[in-house]
Structure 1
Amino acid sequence: MERKTYKVICKISDGGFGEIYKVSSPSINEILVLKHLKFRGNLNEQTYIKNEISSLSSLRHENIISFREVVVKSEEVNIIMEYADGGNLEDFVSEHKTICNTLVVDIFIQILKAVEFCHQNNIAHRDITPSNVLMLRNRTIKLADFGLSMKCMSTAGHPLLCDDFLGNRLFSAPEVLRGIVHDAILADLWNLGVLLYFIMFTRTPFTGYDEEILVQQQTIGNTITTSHCIDLFQRTLLNLLKIIPCDRTCVSKLAEWFGAGGRADTDAYVFRFRRGKIAYMTYFPILEGKFPGLPS
């Protein structure tokens, strides 16, 4: 099969494992992204590169950046992917400073759908941060950068634990910072909690080095309960940012909460329905200040 040709338009960024370029494909008249990865030795021994290609090529979802092809040359791999023309979530949040609750619900439910699909396919992302959540101009969310992703189930159906401890320490779960062999899917849940906090408050709840962060993680529950945020967000944070991994609420349950609706302000719930590409918002009065489906 003849390979397509790609013309570099500009460099977007330096990723954790390689350089990211915006490219054009004259043959199909489309703007795409090229992730350029270098390696030495046998490609079959490059675990992170193999995992990224495997994850991207197997995960087809509207909220996950789409994989187009991989071009392998001598000691380099070029992964061609969908281009997200709206930038990343980190820049979006920094630019807007304050995001209304309705938009927080809309963004976070799309992230939940992407992560839920990964987990359903026994894949942990392991690096869910604002810079790895991309956006289209229409505010469709695209989860990206699967460079640290891993399969969490063997072909024989046995759980696979993670024994490396990479990632952004501000978003890393306690077990990752402590260097404990762990379930990467449960660590993803902690990542999601920190990400939601960032979207809401435009900053991470933790600062400093590993030991300082570990101390702060012990009291994050107090920080959340005294914060001024709606019940849905507060309960979600409390159910994700739990020190004991198995106590964290799974993504499918969270998706149910957010899928049923989100409390947009103190006067109304927001229920979201999708019909094709059109989103409809309907407002209903609060009944005794409770949100259906949340644990008491």
Structure 2
Amino acid sequence: MNGKEALTPREFLRIADFFATNGYRLGPKIGEGTYSKVRIAERSNNGEFLAVKIIDKRIAKKSYVTKFLPRELEIAVLVKHPNVICTYEILHQGELVYIIMDYAERGDLLQLIQTCGGVSEKEAKRMFKEMAEAVKYLHNLGIAHRDLKCENILIMRDKRIALSDFGFSRLYLDQQHGDVTSKTYCGSRAYASPELLRGAPYDPRTNDVWSLGVILFIMICGKMPFDDRNLKLMLKKQMSEGVTVPETVKTQVSSECVRLVYQILDPNTDSRPGVVDILQSDWLN
């Protein structure tokens, strides 16, 4: 199911019949991941549009099926927050798993930025505050997202943002040992923190905060803060030179906003602010 549409007409009809018996009408494809496709689904009893993520375990790596997928399903049904995509139901049909969730009619943040070239500071402030509130909520539940990026920031009909895709997420708190650290290299390296890129055990909460900083930079600058084509060079720039906000951007946004970008994209985890600090920053208040 990755790459081109791999479903034969017979397979699609079988899936459509399965959905019909569960009260849904299956619609067109609107997105895809490594092991999944996302389609629109309509609830038969009220006409409500939802999104359904169809995961094919037959083409997925064993580590994904045994480790990451169970975590995703566990976390998906656990989270309930206005700025997190809500999962309504999980269905199973043989080797296929269906996650039925909110449908974001306005697409994702990456699509918005590619279309508009950036976001006004006023809109960036509203959206970023909602992201930070969502991450704070997840961290309070003991959940690290570990793949925060513009593609996973969805925009609902009312322009409210909602975090999505818990494929790399984990419940980071070991109740027996109190262990918070992660050792898994995951997520998108353009949004990954220096501590993750170095391959050492890292705190997934500080990594999530770094990713938020990358997203904020992209919103106000319309481009990535670091070139990820060469991993070693990117890590060296992160650690020695740091991020640079273009002078043209500094003339268009407030100094409080620019200051927050620099504070979040701090390679030193001891001085990098936490999500609560971000929410209490001058820019967001």
Q: Which residue of 2 aligns with 1:237?
A: 261
User: Is residue 197 of structure 1 aligned with residue 231 of structure 2?
Assistant: no
The number of equivalent residue pairs is: 260
Aligned letter for 1:147?
G
Q: 1:108 aligns with which of 125, 128, 142?
A: 128
Per-residue Cα deviation, 1:140-163 (whole angstroms, up to 9, x for no partner): 011101111011102336123212
CA contact (8 A) 2:260 2:283 kept: no
Q: Which residue of 2 aligns with 1:89?
A: 109
CA distance in 1, matches of 2:224, 2:84: 23
Q: CA deviation at 1:94?
A: 1.6
Structure 2: how far apart are the matches of 1:220 and 1:19?
Answer: 39
Corresponding residue for residue 150 of structure 1: 170
Q: Which residue of 2 aligns with 1:256?
A: 280
1:230 alignment partner AA: S
Matched-pair contact (CA < 8 Å) for 1:151–1:160 = no
The aligned residue for residue 160 of structure 2 is 140
* CA distance in structure 1 between the partners assigned to 2:46 and 2:185 by the alignment: 40
Residue 242 of structure 1: how far off its partner (Å): 1.6
Q: Structure 1, residues 14-51: CA drift from partner, whole Å, max 9, x if none?
A: 11441111111213321111111122599996221111
TM normalised by structure 1 equals 0.81
Answer 1 or 2: which has greater strand percent: 1
Map of 1:218 onto structure 2: 239
Counterpart check, 1:21 vs 2:42: no
CA change 1:99–1:259 in 2 (3 A) is closer
Q: For 1:171-200, what per-residue CA distance to the aligned partner results, in whole angstroms no more than 9, with x for missing partners?
A: 111122121121111111110111100011
**Further displaced range: 52-61 or 190-199:** 52-61
- Indicate whether 1:54 and 2:74 are aligned: yes
SS at 2:189's partner residue? coil
CA distance in 2, matches of 1:44, 1:215: 31
What RMSD in Å do the two structures reach over aligned CA positions? Answer: 2.4
CA distance 1:43–1:236, change in 2 (3 Å): closer
CA distance in 1 between counterparts of 2:37 and 2:126 reads 30
Partner of 1:104, secondary structure, is helix
1:293 matched residue in structure 2: none
Asked if the contact 1:21–1:34 (Cα under 8 Å) also holds between the matched residues in 2, the reply is yes
Code of the residue aligned with 1:74 in structure 2: it is G
How many Å separate the matches in 1 of 2:274 and 2:176? 23
Aligned residues of 2:35 and 2:57 also touching (Cα < 8 A):
no
Percentage of matched positions with identical amino acids? 25
Residue aligned with 2:125, SS? helix
Cα distance change, pair 44–206 in 1 and its aligned pair in 2 (3 A):
closer
Cα gap change, 1:217 to 1:259, in 2 (>3 Å): closer
Q: CA deviation at 1:3?
A: 6.8
Residues 66-120 of structure 1: CA distance to partner in whole angstroms, max 9, x if unpaired? Answer: 1101002222211110101111001111211242211110110011111110111
Q: Which runs of 4+ in 1 moved over 3 A?
A: 40-45, 219-222, 224-227
Question: Which residue of 2 is the match for residue 30 of structure 1?
Answer: 48
Matched, 1:169 2:169: no
**Structure 1 residues 72, 159: CA separation in 2 closer, same or farther (over 3 Å shift)?**
same
Q: Tell me the residue number matched to 1:5.
A: 23
**8 Å contact from structure 1 (residues 4, 25) kept in 2:** no
Query: Of 83, 99, 107, which residue of structure 2 is paired with 1:79?
Result: 99
SS of equivalent to 2:281: helix
**SS of aligned partner of 1:107:** helix
The 8 Å contact of residues 225 and 234 in structure 1, kept in 2 or not, is answered as no
- TM-score scaled to structure 2, two decimals? 0.84
Q: Quote the residue 1:247 is aligned against.
A: 271
Q: Which has the higher helix share?
A: 2
Which amino acid in the other structure matches residue 246 of structure 1? D
Shift of residue 215, structure 1, vs aligned partner: 1.9
Unpaired segments ≥5 residues, structure 1: 262-296
Find the counterpart in structure 2 of residue 184 from structure 1. Answer: 204
Task: Decide whether the 8 Å contact of 1:105 with 1:258 is kept in 2.
Answer: no
Conserved in 2, the CA contact under 8 Å of 1:174 and 1:243?
Answer: yes
Q: Is the 8 A contact 2:149 2:211 kept in 1?
A: yes
